[in-house]
Amino acid sequence: MGAYGPGSITSLCKLTPPDFGIIASIGHAHYERFKTLDAVVSAKFELAESVIENSGTVIVHEKTLKFKHSQSMRHKHMNNFIACGEPVHTQDPKSAQEYSYLTPDDLNIISVEQTPMGLCVHLEWKDEKYTLRAPLYGVHHGHNIALAFACAMTLGMDAKDIKTALASTPQITHRLEVKRQVDGSIIIDDAFNSNPPGFRAAMHVLKILADDRDGRAVLVTPGIVELGNKHDEVHRTLGMLAAEVCDIVIVVSPSRIPTFIEGFKSMDSGKTLQQFETFSAAEKWLLKNKRASDVILLENDLPDLYERVLRI
């Protein structure tokens, strides 16, 4: 259930009252509308409020619990919550990233490994250890798998049946969808991505697949939309990461993400940067210059790409 603003999810829950709810993350998607992460938390946890009203179960990633609103709700309704996340490996956490909001009854994500053939997820829950495999790409999907696993088990499914189902999970169209081409090249279609963690995850997959075949890592992107006042900061960081990961970066409509280009150039990596005003111009360059060993990431969420994915 998507939130376009405060009250959106509440309205949807009145239409379809949920017994179970999963809240996967709190991020900067649509930040332009919500202005603050606290506002995003309040909007997303409208789902938790509706589930609790039905005496149901809310399954959340533990990182969604680092906000006062979500923490307060969980403390008041501990029996209605299951959290999934990475356990703390130090007795003296020094930063928010090292602190975990998991309790002994929650699900521990021991590790998520991205391989060229998909994900391998190791979990521990209720004194049992599980290894799950799925032909999906993006480490964040490993965390989504953990959330889905907790929900399925709570609904009464057998762990063996869940493993079998995950092993044949289809890729999600236009969301880190790995497509092996007739000419030998690989396209990672992430056309519908809309958030910074997803962008970073996509570049991680790009590097793994390119290294596996000793090919060039190629990124095509016009950047991310609806980041509000985080637009420049986020794109500068992503540009720096692209300089580390990619052999070729193709920026479409460069005037809207100048800080991405600045970040890329600041790394002085010697990597290739191409800039085009339109996707059709970028496509022509790719058709002329791509190699059979190339891995090409299409990272974009602008409206025109919803209508037509590059035919390369």
Stronger pLDDT, 93 or 287, i.e. the higher one: 287
What confidence score (pLDDT) does residue 26 get?
87
Q: How confident is the model at residue 31 (pLDDT cuts 50, 70, 90)?
A: low
Amino acid symbol at 122:
H
Instruction: Evaluate if residue 93 carries a pLDDT over 60.
Output: no
What confidence score (pLDDT) does residue 197 get?
85
**How far, rounded to the nearest angstrom, does the alpha carbon of residue 202 sit from its chain's CA centroid?**
8
Instruction: Evaluate if residue 137 carries a pLDDT over 60.
Output: yes
Boundary-marking domain end, from 114, 145, 167: 167
Residues linked to residue 221 through DSSP beta bridges, in sequence order: 251
How far apart CA 203 and CA 197 sit, in angstroms, is: 10
User: Smallest Cα–Cα separation from 188: which of 226, 138, 121, 119?
Assistant: 138
* Arithmetic mean of pLDDT, 180-204: 91
How far apart CA 19 and CA 131 sit, in angstroms, is: 27
What confidence score (pLDDT) does residue 96 get?
45
**Per-residue model confidence as pLDDT tens digits over 248-262:** 999 999 999 999 999
Rounded to 5 degrees, φ, ψ at 296 are -115, 120
Q: What is the DSSP string of 100-161?
A: ----TTSEEEEEEEEETTEEEEEEEETTEEEEEEES---HHHHHHHHHHHHHHHHTT--HHH
Q: What is the CATH number of the domain that holds 182?
A: 3.90.190.20
pTM for the model: 0.81
Stronger pLDDT, 300 or 275, i.e. the higher one: 275
What confidence score (pLDDT) does residue 1 get?
75
Residue 87 is given by DSSP the state P
Tell me which residue has tokens 């250890």.
129
Q: How confident is the model at residue 27 (pLDDT cuts 50, 70, 90)?
A: confident
The answer to whether residues 218 and 290 belong to one domain is yes
**Quick count: other Cβ atoms within 10 Å of Cβ 268?**
8
* Arithmetic mean of pLDDT, 303-310: 48
The answer to whether residues 27 and 117 belong to one domain is yes
The answer to whether residues 154 and 25 belong to one domain is yes
Percent share of the chain, pLDDT over 90: 77
Boundary-marking domain end, from 139, 167, 195: 167
The counts of H helices and E strands in the chain are 12, 12
Cβ contact 217:247 at 8 Å: yes
Q: What is the CATH number of the domain that holds 26?
A: 3.40.1190.10
